[in-house]
Amino acid sequence: MPRTEEQFREMREKSKTLIMETALELFSNQGFHSTSIQKIAKEAGIAIGLVYNYFKSKEELLDAIIQNGIQEFVHTLHSQVQSSDVLTKENFSKMLTVYFGMIKSRIKIWRLFIKIGLEPGVAQVSHKHIGEFSQHMNVISMRYFEGQGFDDPKAKAAVLNAMLHGAFLSYILHGDEDSFELMKREIIEKFV
């Protein structure tokens, strides 16, 4: 029996996901420059041509992985924030809790950001997407602090974001669960 268009679409999605997950694993462990398309294909157990069927270059594949990671993160955070003009303490606390949870649950993508952020020639890819995400977090934080009546919401948001970055980097680089949980608790108590 011939396959349906839906079955072909599912097969294409599975192949693309396999390529991206394999590349994520290799890029985050070995670095971007040390990972070839051939190595990705071999590790995924597919033909090299299939990789090029979905991605024109290794750079395009990297960009897709990073963009996908950031979009997932932003989408998950947005699901915690109501669309009203004023964010409640409860919603903001949930959003920060989700932020910390996603750092722990998607550690490979965050290690990739750190690793390629230091690699010449590809650092700008991660910096661009991380900058977009940081700006997004800053807007949400400022909206919250404005709604809560803080005197200088911009400064408060900048301090919160710096602390979130510090907690993020500390966990990614050291993996200390206890310290990460302590930072999470302290940040939420201080800002919510």
Tokens read off for 143: 């909206």
Which residue has tokens 């952020």? 117
Sign of the Cα pseudo-torsion (13, 15, 16, 21, in order)? positive
User: Residue 82: its pLDDT value, please?
Assistant: 58
Q: How many helices (H) and strands (E) does the chain have?
A: 9, 0
Is the per-residue pLDDT at 86 higher than 80?
A: no
CA angle 114, 116, 121 (to 5 degrees): 145
DSSP state of 57: S
Is the per-residue pLDDT at 41 higher than 70?
A: yes
List of residues 6+ apart from 23 with CB closer than 8 A? 35, 40, 61, 62, 65
Span 160-177, pLDDT tens digits: 999 998 999 899 888 899
Higher pLDDT, 175 or 39: 39
Please give the single-letter amino acid code of residue 48.
I
User: Residue 19: its pLDDT value, please?
Assistant: 97
8 Å CB contact between 121 and 33: yes
Q: Which of 31-40, 96-105, 118-127 has the lowest mean pLDDT?
A: 118-127
